[in-house]
Structure 1
Amino acid sequence: MDFLSDFLTGFVKQLQSPTLGFLIGGMVAASLGSRLAIPDAVYKFIVFMLLMKVGLTGGQEIRNANLVEMLLPALFAVVTGILIVFLGRYTLCKLPHVKMEDGLATAGLFGAVSGSTFAAALTLLETEQIPYEAWSAALYPFMDIPALVTAIVLASIYTNKQEYRSKREYYGEQGIVAEGYPSKQPERVKVWPIVQESLQGSALSALLLGLVLGLATQPESVYTTFYDPLFRGLLSVLMLIMGMEAWARLNELRKVAHWYTVYSVVAPLFHGLIAFGFGMIAHYLTGFSLGGVVVLAVMAASSSDISGPPTLRAGIPAANPSAYIGASTAVGTPVAIALAIPLYIGLAQALTGGG
């Protein structure tokens, strides 16, 4: 009963959180036909600022962290991000009416990390006075970047195979050889150029730049006076924008496939439980705090709203944004914030009480 009570209390708190509130506010405004619009240049600036802040936070925390203690949780973050994409590849992408590119982009978005959900979780952990490692914020890029890159690589491999099959059917066995293609198998996809191009994209570049600057320089003064104070305000504006876009994509999402809605409800909870399990392994082996376990689980339960959409638009241009953004923002983010966060905090509190 205590667990259920804690869960319901956390659920109500999350419904009242500004992160979810601004997201829902944007959806309501769009549903009422509001002409409210945020210029694209402002949106790009907000995304850049948020990514720089996340990168600077991670870099500073890594610099000040005990790298031995951080090693196993960071490894689990990488494994979780990649695993989520492969799970999507062999579940969502196999469902009826789900195109491979759309499914992989969706899985990539769910494997990456939501800055808004992440911030909401840290706020609630502090409210509940649940301790967690300061460097746990640095786990963000360890899950985010591998998930996005894995999704882009898998999509590129699939696209390459499809192009080969189309040309083989068009030219025939002999004709395709004359065109410079091998007769038995498509040309091997070179993974590193894809990875390099992904990392050079504007979103991941900003995240990596902040990470390097936080790690190699002393940015505390500009961080505390500029980036950190602006973070929550800019995040609220981003959530408003994402809410309006989510509503616009929601009707289109219904036309794509109903399986996206099912995936968006189930995936955050399932992915978070996987990461919670990994976190508990780190807890017993290295003393990783239960608060840190919650942070890892929430990152896995979230779906990217900052780095993911622009990275996937560039990396998987054939994917339909209505599918992956609609699934993530319209359904996945509310589920992660309202259900997943109180669930994992409740689990951590139950384990603490049990210990």
Structure 2
Amino acid sequence: METVSDIASSILNQFQKPTLAFLIGGMVLAAARSRLEVPEAIYKFIVALLLLKVGMSAGMSVRSADLMALLVPAVMAIAVGVGIVLLGTVTLTRIRGVAPIDGYATAGLFGAVSASTLAAGMAVLETEGIAYEGFIGALYPFMDVAALITAIVLARMATARRVAAAGVSPDGTMVLGGGRPAAAPGQPGKPGLLKTILLDTVRSPAISALFLGLAIGLLSKPESVYQSFYEPLFRGLLSILMLIMGMEAWARLSELRKVAHAYLVYGLSAPIIHGLVGFGAGLIAHHLTGFSPGGVILLSVMAASSSDISGPPTLRGALPEANPSAYVGTSTGIGTPIAILSIPLWVALADLTIGLG
């Protein structure tokens, strides 16, 4: 009963946190046709600071972890993040009426990790007295970055293929569905397409800031500037970001009316399916390296969660044409509560399969 009470309290806390409160506030302002605007330059500055902070935090966690003990769980985390996005590409992106770009962005957000859901999982394990590895927090960036980059690359490749399919013939007329004109190197239709898109993704402002922060946290000692500048500003900047995305989400909400059921079903089912994928990966790590039952549970929690910090600004910057009503609404409004409610399931499965004693 105490565990149920803790889970209910965690869900209530989600609705009281700035992440969701400011998102809803932005939607209310947009619905009321408020003239409030945040300049694009300020938005880009906020995103850069947030992702630098997230990257540095992840880099410092990895730097302080036991790298040998971390290796196999990290590989599993990467595989889970990529696998969740690939699963989304063969389900959500193929549903009639769902814009492929929105499907990729939603799958990317569900493949990435929610720090708040992970914290809720840790709180449950500590309440139950279940031990887990100290480096669990360092697995966050492996799954998170792998999922986001995979989603962005797949989305850009799909867009490139559609653009190439609607080519221009030598006489200047449009050719639909075939008859592609010769493309310049690095453009759709050339062997260098994947390399070009990968480089473009890594060089994008959002991913560049994330990678730079990761490198600084891993290779240097930024604790002083992190604690004095980035950490105090983080929550305030995140609230402004959510306000902006809430306004954008409302403005594009009408685009989802015909396919809202698809996102509802995905948001309700994906956390459980993804959590099972994470649980399977955790079991592999357990049998290979002795990864603890608590670690298996938390890997499942990470897989079941969807990003509420690094994901939205990264996708908004890298895939601006994607509809935030789809990926943020499905993730924050549906996926996060289901992921939190599923935590006892992973505890029960771990007890059943490998034992918690």
TM-score by length of 2: 0.80
CA deviation string 1:206-241 (max 9, x = no partner): 222222112111223334455445556665666666
Deviation (angstroms), 1:80 = 0.9
**Alignment of 1:58 onto 2:54:** no
- In the alignment, the residues of structure 2 paired with residue 354 and residue 107 of structure 1 have an alpha-carbon distance, to the nearest angstrom, of 32
Q: Which residue matches 1:114?
A: 114
1:104–1:272 CA distance, 2 compared to 1 (3 A): same
Deviation (angstroms), 1:245 = 6.0
For the Cα contact (< 8 Å) 1:57–1:138, is it kept in 2?
no
**Alignment of 1:289 onto 2:289:** no
CA deviation string 1:34-53 (max 9, x = no partner): 76968456655554444333
Deviation (angstroms), 1:78 = 1.0
- In the alignment, the residues of structure 2 paired with residue 38 and residue 275 of structure 1 have an alpha-carbon distance, to the nearest angstrom, of 40
CA deviation string 1:103-143 (max 9, x = no partner): 12211221122344334444554555543323222222211
Q: Which residue matches 2:304?
A: 301
Q: Which residue matches 1:340?
A: 342
**Alignment of 1:17 onto 2:10:** no
Q: Which residue matches 2:162?
A: 162
For the Cα contact (< 8 Å) 2:271–2:303, is it kept in 1?
yes
Deviation (angstroms), 1:199 = 2.0
CA deviation string 1:39-78 (max 9, x = no partner): 4566555544443333223222322222121111111111
* Residues 74-153 of structure 1 mapped to structure 2, 5 A cutoff: 74-126=74-126, 129-153=129-153
- In the alignment, the residues of structure 2 paired with residue 214 and residue 224 of structure 1 have an alpha-carbon distance, to the nearest angstrom, of 12
1:263–1:124 CA distance, 2 compared to 1 (3 A): same
Deviation (angstroms), 1:326 = 2.4
- In the alignment, the residues of structure 1 paired with residue 127 and residue 231 of structure 2 have an alpha-carbon distance, to the nearest angstrom, of 19
- In the alignment, the residues of structure 1 paired with residue 24 and residue 174 of structure 2 have an alpha-carbon distance, to the nearest angstrom, of 52
1:301–1:235 CA distance, 2 compared to 1 (3 A): farther
**Alignment of 1:262 onto 2:277:** no
Deviates more, 1:128-137 or 1:147-156: 128-137
- In the alignment, the residues of structure 2 paired with residue 349 and residue 250 of structure 1 have an alpha-carbon distance, to the nearest angstrom, of 42
For the Cα contact (< 8 Å) 2:38–2:244, is it kept in 1?
no
For the Cα contact (< 8 Å) 1:111–1:143, is it kept in 2?
yes
For the Cα contact (< 8 Å) 1:167–1:176, is it kept in 2?
yes
For the Cα contact (< 8 Å) 1:250–1:330, is it kept in 2?
no
Q: Which residue matches 1:272?
A: 275
Partner AA of 1:67 in structure 2: L
SS class of match (1:16): helix
Partner AA of 1:312 in structure 2: L
Partner AA of 1:212 in structure 2: A
CA deviation string 1:307-345 (max 9, x = no partner): 323333343344333322322233223332x32345435
For the Cα contact (< 8 Å) 2:23–2:242, is it kept in 1?
no
- In the alignment, the residues of structure 2 paired with residue 226 and residue 347 of structure 1 have an alpha-carbon distance, to the nearest angstrom, of 42
For the Cα contact (< 8 Å) 2:252–2:323, is it kept in 1?
no
Partner AA of 2:162 in structure 1: Q
Q: Which residue matches 1:198?
A: 201
For the Cα contact (< 8 Å) 2:111–2:303, is it kept in 1?
yes
Q: CA RMSD in A?
A: 3.7
Larger fraction in helix: 1
- In the alignment, the residues of structure 1 paired with residue 249 and residue 343 of structure 2 have an alpha-carbon distance, to the nearest angstrom, of 21
**Alignment of 1:180 onto 2:176:** no
- In the alignment, the residues of structure 1 paired with residue 231 and residue 43 of structure 2 have an alpha-carbon distance, to the nearest angstrom, of 18
SS class of match (1:133): coil
User: Where in structure 2 are there 5+ consecutive unaligned residues?
Assistant: none
Q: Which residue matches 1:321?
A: 324
For the Cα contact (< 8 Å) 2:248–2:324, is it kept in 1?
no
User: Where in structure 1 are there 5+ consecutive unaligned residues?
Assistant: none
- In the alignment, the residues of structure 1 paired with residue 135 and residue 256 of structure 2 have an alpha-carbon distance, to the nearest angstrom, of 37
- In the alignment, the residues of structure 1 paired with residue 304 and residue 269 of structure 2 have an alpha-carbon distance, to the nearest angstrom, of 10
Number of residue pairs the alignment of both structures matches = 346
CA deviation string 1:249-306 (max 9, x = no partner): 6565334442011101111221122112211221232122333223322222222233
